[in-house]
Structure 1
Amino acid sequence: MEKDIARVKPLELIHKLMDEGTFVELQESMQETNVLTGFGKVNGRRVYAFAQNFETRGGSIDSAHANKIIAVMDIALNEGVPIVGFYHSVGARIQDGILALDAVGKLFNHHVKLSGKIPQISVIMGSCAGGAAYCPALTDFIFMIEEKSKLFVTGPKVVQAITGERSTAEELGGTKIHGKVSGINHFESSDEESAIKDVRRLLSYLPQNHREKSPRMVSGISPKYLDPKNIVPVESNKPYDMLKLIEKIVDNESFIEIQKQYAKNTIIGFGRFNGIACGLIANQPKYLAGALDVDASEKIACFIRLCSNFHLPIILLEDTVGFMPGVRQESSGLLRYGADIVKAFAEASVPKITVIIRKAFGGAYIALNSKAIGATRVYAWTTSEIGVMGIGAAVNLLKKDSASSESLERSLNRGMEANLELALSHGVIDEVIEPYETRQKLIEAIEELRKREQLAV
């Protein structure tokens, strides 16, 4: 009877995730209440899942616990099916010593084994420490629930005992610290029901595995027409909200933002174009003029690799003054993180389409999916500026005196206008387009490239 009561919460979570009446608990799962495993359907497609049971030994991980999760991971990998884990655990079972550590290590190894082959999604249902926190960090997506989810290497009591530092569990590993500061969390939900609903929505954008493409939605509903230029100011130094532009070029209400509180100068997420799921990356001029810093660079590079792993075309909307200058950024490794964007784009094997909205300067122009590093298609708005740096910065760098500033600025302005023509004539840009053409041009390119892929198979 006690075991049956303890099983209620994990079963309830998995049943809520799956389409009604589709969940089947795996037979071996019934031998142990510390973690439950099984499969069912989400939006009509098979998904495997497991849920740790905090009510039994704190959801602690021992060999039996780890082996059960590993077994369901292996089945999911062999079938080429996504897996969702509900985490709530104190970590390795202290009483089992080295055997518990070995069990946790085997879980780590299996997460890496699945990485890039099937989607792995983690939902944090309470506090997770040590190995139970590292496991979600090895998956593709993490969902955390406000004031409920906690992730940390060691809890507040251990931290205080070792370092003397006092902190609450929320300050140490809550949704805000991991959403805004560390960037480990991808989605923040207000409650359990919202988290599960969001997981179901996310799965609709993803393929079952790395060999398949994500399902195409039949509707492909167009957003209410609005000329994008009405969103983007003519003045190149005036901020605006790139999200509003994204909402006007993707299918109606199809954009789902990822890591929205982290590195807010960059936007990443999924959206649909005529029903086809794509990964979107965009500079956000509303924050830091869309400049690329260490956090934004890391956010972009990780997302590029995820899209490439799961055959999702990448759309990049570019409007940036460049990489963020300064001692703090340089000492934090900006060159290394910026280079990682270049590597990620150059290695990505999916269609990669760039639209230069307003500004594309310096190293950021190159790194953000330029033709030089393998862009499939590059468009530029008629009003866009491309150059080694902005005119203001160039004048300050090159001027000899105040009298020469005006003539230098006029000369640089002419050069900036010529850059667009030069880029077009040399094939660095494929086409200069009017803002209102953006959505249609993207759809045409995505459809064409999709057909080419199908013919190549």
Structure 2
Amino acid sequence: MTAGEDRNEPDTGRSDREMPPLLAKAMAARESTRDEARPEAVARQHARGRWTARERIAALFDPDTFVEYGQLAQPQIRSLGDGPADGLVMGVGQVDGVSVCAFTYDYTVMGGSQSPTNHRKADRMMEVAERNRWPVVFWSEGAGARATELFYESGTATTFIQLARLSGWVPIVTILSGPSFAGQANIAGTSDVVIATRDSTMGLSGPPLVRSATGEDLTPEELGPMSLHERTGAVDLVVDDETAALQTARRYLSYFTDVAAPPPPVAHDQTPLRTMVPENPRRAYDVRKIVEILADENSVMELRPLFGRCLSTSLCRIEGHRIGVLANNPMFGAGAIDSEGSAKFSRFVELCNAYDLPLLFLCDTPGFMIGTAAEKSAIVRHSARTLVAVSAADVPILGVILRKAYGLGYYAMGSDALDPDLYVGWPTAEFGGMGLEGAVNIVYRDELEAAPDDATQREIRDRRVAEWKERNTGLEFARSFLLDDIIDPAETRDLIARLLATFPAPAPREGRKHPIDPW
């Protein structure tokens, strides 16, 4: 061997297969954050009936696509001990080939609490998500701020402002599993949709702080059970377990992305639609059955089903076309839109409009709710929100009058005032500035009061109502071209599908249209 050859072979004292000490140290630190290195913590989480944070990530993403950010992060106060990823596993990967950004709090690390370090992690990740327009999934389980680390050396966390700025720009999903209080609840409240397991809990503050501030000594289940939040509309969908929550989240994302692409559309038999709306305007029916028949098989996702029940709001597909459906439900308050229904209406319109989903209105309403109870609920303000939301929408609007189209409630439900792209009625359609019986009582008051007895008064009222109804039927409106047409209910799906196929694709946007009102 020559001297030159000797100089070209430095003596490292180790085999090429051996890992350099610094690399080995870094890799060992990374491996220590994985479930395999933490069997006791994993066992505790499984004993609670919950997935670990890393199991959630593995279940969400396509294999070998997840890129983690901040895996080596630790608590700001190191004396607190080891905190793998500082209790927040996050990153981006592919879900059915679609880029999605995900965050999951790790309950095995200091109860999934939020800290200065993991807030910085979240802030960083959301900046990248906004830049790349990645949908966001939060898997939330934790009790808010970490009390032992309330001092932020690097300034105030911007997590909640960052999330608010994503509203209306990218789809935001929160899955609640286990207790979610304070900061975790704030994240849920800012999300487009909240999916919760039935045994999870949520509150703006956890039991210890509530006890300190108000004296109420409550368990998480007493303070914020899902049965409460489902009724009040704070959560959109309640499911049995984390498997169902993940499946539901994927289905939700499919209405806005190519995640969970559905099979070829299958249509229901449409002929039952011909008899589903009773000709007697006093008879109720469940409008959700109409939505199910109109939509592709297994494509309907109703949001907030136990809140604002006078109105049904659903995402669905018709011949594969994604669409949002708002339908008055005569099973509740005869379909009159109350304050809860108004809030549900306006938020759903904003959700669909933000992401360019066409809107289908199925109208059967006597108007907005009236009376002292309605006024105590601030119906004047809440009803106005529906008009503000729908007048600002720039997506295609399709209006179908099923039966009653009365008052200002009808005005908001896809009426001609909105210049809809389709405006048709079923043979049962009838119109009025108010309920026709109420109008007759006002206009013919003198004649009714002059009747010699109750029987005569009823006969006069019935005759006048019949006269007014004949002048205000959908058929008469169509003859005056105040409607585009009166259609066979069984042809509704085909008509909508053909029209949806004609609309151009939404133009690419460089910014959001508007945020989505959390309420």
Flag whether TM exceeds 0.5 (same fold): yes
- 1:25 Cα deviation after fit: 3.3
Q: In structure 2, what is the Cα distance between the partners aligned to 1:286 and 1:100?
A: 56
- 1:443 Cα deviation after fit: 1.2
Q: In structure 1, what is the Cα distance between the partners aligned to 2:318 and 2:72?
A: 44
Going from structure 1 to structure 2, the CA distance change for 1:100 and 1:444 (only over 3 Å counts) comes to: farther
The answer (yes or no) to whether the contact 1:265–1:292 under 8 Å persists in 2 is yes
The answer (yes or no) to whether the contact 1:357–1:384 under 8 Å persists in 2 is yes
Asked if residue 435 in structure 1 is aligned to residue 489 in structure 2, the reply is yes
Going from structure 1 to structure 2, the CA distance change for 1:414 and 1:287 (only over 3 Å counts) comes to: same
Letter aligned with residue 502 of structure 2 = E
Give the structure 2 partner of residue 146 of structure 1.
198
The one-character-per-residue Cα deviations of 1:220-265 (angstroms, maximum 9, x if unpaired) are 2211343302222221111111111111111112111111121222
* 1:11-50 map, 5 Å: 11-19=54-62, 21-31=63-73, 32-50=85-103
Question: Max radius of gyration: which structure?
Answer: 2
Going from structure 1 to structure 2, the CA distance change for 1:180 and 1:423 (only over 3 Å counts) comes to: same
Secondary structure at 1:227 match in 2: helix
Q: In structure 2, what is the Cα distance between the partners aligned to 1:356 and 1:56?
A: 54
Secondary structure at 1:239 match in 2: coil
Q: 2:223 aligns with which of 172, 184, 197?
A: 172
Going from structure 1 to structure 2, the CA distance change for 1:326 and 1:35 (only over 3 Å counts) comes to: same
Going from structure 1 to structure 2, the CA distance change for 1:250 and 1:9 (only over 3 Å counts) comes to: same
Give the structure 2 partner of residue 122 of structure 1.
174
Going from structure 1 to structure 2, the CA distance change for 1:142 and 1:17 (only over 3 Å counts) comes to: same
Give the structure 1 partner of residue 15 of structure 2.
none
Give the structure 2 partner of residue 240 of structure 1.
285
Give the structure 1 partner of residue 255 of structure 2.
205
Give the structure 2 partner of residue 75 of structure 1.
128
- 1:316 Cα deviation after fit: 1.0
Secondary structure at 2:71 match in 1: helix
The answer (yes or no) to whether the contact 1:18–1:41 under 8 Å persists in 2 is yes
Secondary structure at 1:165 match in 2: coil
Give the structure 2 partner of residue 59 of structure 1.
112
Asked if residue 309 in structure 1 is aligned to residue 309 in structure 2, the reply is no
The answer (yes or no) to whether the contact 2:93–2:99 under 8 Å persists in 1 is yes
Give the structure 2 partner of residue 221 of structure 1.
266
Secondary structure at 2:501 match in 1: helix
* CA RMSD after TM alignment: 2.4
- 1:74 Cα deviation after fit: 1.7
Give the structure 2 partner of residue 409 of structure 1.
462
Give the structure 1 partner of residue 210 of structure 2.
159
Going from structure 1 to structure 2, the CA distance change for 1:58 and 1:103 (only over 3 Å counts) comes to: farther
Q: In structure 1, what is the Cα distance between the partners aligned to 2:167 and 2:252?
A: 17
Q: In structure 2, what is the Cα distance between the partners aligned to 1:100 and 1:243?
A: 53
The answer (yes or no) to whether the contact 1:292–1:322 under 8 Å persists in 2 is yes
Asked if residue 84 in structure 1 is aligned to residue 137 in structure 2, the reply is yes
Q: In structure 2, what is the Cα distance between the partners aligned to 1:292 and 1:426?
A: 28
Q: Which moved more, 1:1-10 or 1:223-232?
A: 1-10
Q: 1:267 aligns with which of 312, 323, 330?
A: 312
- 1:344 Cα deviation after fit: 0.7
Going from structure 1 to structure 2, the CA distance change for 1:382 and 1:367 (only over 3 Å counts) comes to: same
Give the structure 2 partner of residue 332 of structure 1.
377
Q: In structure 2, what is the Cα distance between the partners aligned to 1:224 and 1:337?
A: 38
Q: In structure 2, what is the Cα distance between the partners aligned to 1:313 and 1:215?
A: 20
* 1:283-432 map, 5 Å: 283-398=328-443, 399=445, 400-401=448-449, 402=454, 403-419=456-472, 420=474, 423-424=477-478, 427-432=481-486
Secondary structure at 1:29 match in 2: coil
Secondary structure at 2:324 match in 1: strand
How many residues of Structure 1 are paired with residues of Structure 2 in the alignment?
444
- 1:352 Cα deviation after fit: 0.9
Letter aligned with residue 61 of structure 2 = M
Going from structure 1 to structure 2, the CA distance change for 1:100 and 1:331 (only over 3 Å counts) comes to: farther
- 1:438 Cα deviation after fit: 1.2
Secondary structure at 1:322 match in 2: coil
Give the structure 1 partner of residue 53 of structure 2.
10
The answer (yes or no) to whether the contact 1:320–1:361 under 8 Å persists in 2 is yes
Letter aligned with residue 239 of structure 2 = S
Q: In structure 2, what is the Cα distance between the partners aligned to 1:430 and 1:268?
A: 24
Secondary structure at 1:188 match in 2: strand
The one-character-per-residue Cα deviations of 1:408-453 (angstroms, maximum 9, x if unpaired) are 43233333332335643665422221211211121122122347x6
Q: In structure 2, what is the Cα distance between the partners aligned to 1:159 and 1:395?
A: 55
Q: In structure 1, what is the Cα distance between the partners aligned to 2:408 and 2:154?
A: 44
The answer (yes or no) to whether the contact 2:362–2:413 under 8 Å persists in 1 is no
Gaps of 5+ in 1: 209-213
The answer (yes or no) to whether the contact 1:220–1:251 under 8 Å persists in 2 is yes
Q: Which moved more, 1:106-115 or 1:58-67?
A: 58-67
The answer (yes or no) to whether the contact 2:440–2:464 under 8 Å persists in 1 is no
Q: In structure 1, what is the Cα distance between the partners aligned to 2:263 and 2:246?
A: 24
- Alignment TM-score, normalising by the size of structure 1: 0.90
* 1:188-199 map, 5 Å: 188-199=238-249
Secondary structure at 1:99 match in 2: coil
Give the structure 1 partner of residue 8 of structure 2.
none
The answer (yes or no) to whether the contact 2:310–2:336 under 8 Å persists in 1 is yes
The one-character-per-residue Cα deviations of 1:271-301 (angstroms, maximum 9, x if unpaired) are 1011011011111111221111110110010
Going from structure 1 to structure 2, the CA distance change for 1:171 and 1:289 (only over 3 Å counts) comes to: farther
Q: In structure 1, what is the Cα distance between the partners aligned to 2:94 and 2:314?
A: 24
The one-character-per-residue Cα deviations of 1:324-346 (angstroms, maximum 9, x if unpaired) are 11212212211111111011110
